Amino acid sequence: MTATYGALCEHGYTDLTAQAIADRTPKSKSWLFYHYDSKDDLVADFLGYLLERFERRLAEVGDRPPAVRLATFVDWYFEEPADDREAFHTALLELRAQAPYDDRFREQLRESDDRLQATLESILDDGIAAGQFRDHDTAEVAKLLLTTLDGARVRQLTVGRSTDLTDLKGTMIDRVIDDVLEDGVDYPVVEEGIGTLEGTHG
């Protein structure tokens, strides 16, 4: 999985070869593909691995107040990417662009999406239960937020003007999230380092 990550960062998805992955392991290409039927089999498995990693990281902030968990989730999409991370998300976007042609990728992306949606919904539900968020349709708001966050990431990669990204985050907080927060609850500032969360979306 680490070899696949490294090879994706270096070559992107379109130019990824089985050899490039094998070169990053102490094993041979034939050993690797004794375990996987094809490069795309390995890559589909890698998507599952990313989802597990993402969920482990989110579990680490599971005991914080709902507003902090919400801000952690949101801020993670708006972080200025390090070189490696940008290369990686660029490769993931290429891979997502192949999903319409590949059922396995599509299935994996749907599962990731369902789980991201469930996570965000449960943060919003917990916020209502804790009296920090107003009562609202959490499924609806979670979907709207995910769509905007996803659009923000794709635009960051393909149009790539990061000052816009900061403005956009502010607008999203003012115009969508503030309506959800109870009076007197502010959108929290999250400490650094949460950006090590790795997602499953490009």
Give the one residue of 2, 158, 163, 192 binding its own copies; rule: CB under 8 A.
158
The two structure tokens encoding residue 138? 């959490």
The CA distance from 66 to 129, in Å, is 10
Q: Which one, 101 or 193, has the nearer CB to its own copies? A: 101
Helices (H) then strands (E): counts for the chain: 10, 0
17 near its own copies, rule: CB under 8 A: no
- Report in angstroms how near the CB of residue 124 gets to its own copies at its nearest: 13
Considering only the C-alpha atoms of the chain, give the largest distance between any 2 of them, rounded to a whole number of Å: 61
160 near its own copies, rule: CB under 8 A: yes
159 near its own copies, rule: CB under 8 A: yes
The two structure tokens encoding residue 114? 């369902």
Give the one residue of 1, 9, 10, 12 binding its own copies; rule: CB under 8 A.
12
Stretch of 2-10, 19-27, 124-132, 133-141 contacting its own copies, by CB under 8 A: 133-141
The two structure tokens encoding residue 42? 């390995």
Q: Which one, 174 or 186, has the nearer CB to its own copies? A: 174
Tally of CB atoms within 10 A around 89:
21
